Amino acid sequence: MYVSMREMLAKANQENYAVLAINCFNLETAKAVIEAAEEMHAPIIVDLLEEHLKMHLDYRYLTKPIIRMANNAKVDVAINLDHGQEVAYVKQCLQEGFSSVMMDASMYPLEENIRITKEMVQFAQQFNASVEAEVGDLGVVNGNQWTNQEMYTDPDEAIQFIQATGVDCLALSYGSTHGDYPEGYVPEFRFDIVEKIKKATQLPLVLHGGSGAGEENIRKSVALGINKINVGSDFMKAQLAEIQHCLAKDPLMGYPDVIHATISAGKEVVKKYIEIAGSKNKAL
C-alpha cells in the first residue's frame, strides 16, 4: 500500500522502532527494497535523492512505476525525496505524486531554514504528503569532509524549529557522516542530542548516514527515539560487490542475469538493517 511517511513514522514513534529509508535510483533498486520489506513484513521508505534523480533518471520517469509497485506491495511503502534542496524541484516532486519530501534548507541560517520549511509544510498539505527537514549538517566521507562537532545539531535550535514549522520528522546530526566509512571505523554518537530533542518534542527523529554506523549505535539511537534510518552506501556497495563477483566467475554473464543478482544482494542488506532497526513484522 502506498502511504506517506506520516502514518508509518507515527506508528514507529508510538511503538519505539525505526523504519528504513533506502536510497534507490532506478526500478531495480526499488524492487529490491520493496521485496525485502515484504519478506520481513516491515514498512519501508524508498528514498530518491534529488542529486541522483537529476544525474541518472528523472522523477517523471520513475515516480509512477514505483507508486504502482507500492500499491501492489503487501506492506506500507512511502516514496520520499531525499535532500531536496531546490524549492521548485521539491514542489514538482509533490505534484508528480511523491508521498513525502525532505525540504533540506539546513545550509541556511535557522530563521531562513524555518521560513522555507514552513512554506513547504503548508504546500504539502494539499497533497496529504509528509515533510522531513534537517537542523545541523552532515558531512561526507568522500573528499574527507567528515561531520565535525561544529556541524552537530543544536538541540535548542531543533526544538524551536520543530515548534515553528510543524514538520513530520526531523533529521539530526549527532555523529554520523554520509558515505562509506573506512573498514573497521565506527563513529561516536552524541546520544544526548537525541535525548533532549525527543524529550521536548516527541517528534519522530531521523538518522542520516546509517550505513556503517554500527549496530550498537543504531540500536541505542532507536531506543532513544530515532524512528527513521537512512541507508544508501551499504545497499549500493553490496550490489557492486555482487557485480564484481559475477563477472569474476563468468566474464560473459548476461547483463540481465547480473542485474538480477544485484537485486538479491541488495535485499540481504535491507533485511539486515530492518532487523537492527526493529521494524520486522511491524507492517499493518
The pLDDT confidence band at residue 215, using thresholds 50, 70 and 90, is very high
pLDDT digits (tens, 9 = 90+) for 135-189: 998 889 888 889 888 889 999 999 999 999 999 999 999 999 999 888 888 999 9
Position 195 scores a pLDDT of: 98
Contact 189, 152 (CB under 8 A): no
**Per-residue pLDDT averaged across 128-132, rounded?**
98
Q: What is the DSSP string of 190-257?
A: -HHHHHHHHHHH---EEE---TTS-HHHHHHHHHHTEEEEEE-HHHHHHHHHHHHHHHHH-TT--HHH
CA distance 30 to 111: 36
The pLDDT confidence band at residue 47, using thresholds 50, 70 and 90, is very high
> Dihedral sign, CA of 142, 148, 150, 153?
positive
Position 197 scores a pLDDT of: 98
pLDDT digits (tens, 9 = 90+) for 80-129: 999 999 999 999 999 999 999 999 999 999 999 999 999 999 999 999 99
- Which of 82, 104, 168, 234 is the catalytic position? 82
Position 28 scores a pLDDT of: 95
Identity of residue 120: M
Q: How many residues does the chain have?
A: 284
pLDDT digits (tens, 9 = 90+) for 229-270: 999 999 999 999 999 999 999 999 999 999 999 999 999 999
Position 52 scores a pLDDT of: 94
Classify residue 280 as left (phi > 0), alpha (psi -120 to 50) or beta. Answer: beta
Contact 128, 93 (CB under 8 A): no
Q: Confirm whether 82 is a catalytic residue.
A: yes
Contact 195, 227 (CB under 8 A): no
- Residue among 6, 3, 2, 1 nearest 168 (CA): 6
CA distance 44 to 37: 6
Position 183 scores a pLDDT of: 87
Annotate 231-246 with b (16+ C-beta within 10 A) or e (fewer): bbbbbbbbbeebeeeb
Position 280 scores a pLDDT of: 98
